[in-house]
């Protein structure tokens, strides 16, 4: 499977009238856009992100990684590994605002985690993604891809 096949399989699960707006535009994926109603974040994870992990031979476990932060717990969707790299991934539905100005915004979630010594020492970088776009964050800063 390659990247084009991954996207085509995801497109096949989206209602015809929504495909162009989602995959060629910037409309955020919602449950109503899918042929089979489901959580749009879970759809993005299962149909795109986890398939990319498989192509790249990235080991991951399903379920969220949890970290103690001042005032509570911060969860992140994945803490995958390759032979040389351990990183964090926060997933959102396709075309989500990764820079959303809330504590639950994907970039903010990753940035908050890299304030922790445990994360700085144990993880090489973090990724905020909607399956189509990625923003990487290390202790040195963020980059869009």
- For 16-61, how does the pLDDT look when each residue is reduced to its tens digit (9 = 90+)? 999 999 999 999 999 999 999 899 999 999 999 999 999 999 998 8
Range(s) of the domain holding residue 24: 3-55
pLDDT band at 142 (very low <50, low <70, confident <90, very high): very low
Residues 108 and 43 in one domain: no
Number of structural domains found in the chain: 2
Q: What is the pLDDT of residue 144?
A: 53
Q: Are 23 and 95 in contact (CB under 8 A)?
A: no
Residues 82 and 129 in one domain: yes
Chain segment 58-108, per-residue pLDDT in tens: 998 877 889 988 888 888 999 998 888 999 999 999 999 999 999 889 999
Sheet hosting strand 87-91, strand order edge to edge: 87-91, 125-129, 134-138, 141-144
How far apart are the C-alpha atoms of 71 and 11, rounded to whole Å? 40
**Alpha-carbon separation of residue 122 from 30, 52, 74, 104 (angstroms):** 34, 23, 16, 22
> Within a domain: residue 72?
yes
Residues 39 and 74 in one domain: no
Residues 15 and 35 in one domain: yes
Token pair listed for 46: 């299962």
**Tokens 């932060």 -> residue:** 69
DSSP H helical ranges for the chain: 3-11, 16-23, 40-44, 50-55, 106-113, 117-122
Residues 134 and 96 in one domain: yes
140 has pLDDT over 70 = no
Residue 26: strand, helix, or coil = coil
Q: What is the pLDDT of residue 61?
A: 81
Residues 73 and 139 in one domain: yes
- The answer for 57, left when phi > 0, alpha when psi is -120 to 50, beta otherwise, is left
- pTM reported for the whole predicted model: 0.89
């Amino acid at each position: 499977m390659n990247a084009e096949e991954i996207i085509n399989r995801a497109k096949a699960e989206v209602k015809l009238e929504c495909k162009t707006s989602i995959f060629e535009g910037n409309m955020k994926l919602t449950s109503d856009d899918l042929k089979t109603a489901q959580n749009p974040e879970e759809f993005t994870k299962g149909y795109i992100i986890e398939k990319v992990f498989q192509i790249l031979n990235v080991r991951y476990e399903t379920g969220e990684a949890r970290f103690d932060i001042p005032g509570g717990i911060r969860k992140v969707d994945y803490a995958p590994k390759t032979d040389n790299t351990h990183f964090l991934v926060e997933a959102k539905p396709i075309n989500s605002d990764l820079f959303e100005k809330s504590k639950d915004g994907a970039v903010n979630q990753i940035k908050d985690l890299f304030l922790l010594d445990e994360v700085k020492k144990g993880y090489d970088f973090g990724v905020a993604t909607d399956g189509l776009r990625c923003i990487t964050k290390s202790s040195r800063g963020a980059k869009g891809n």
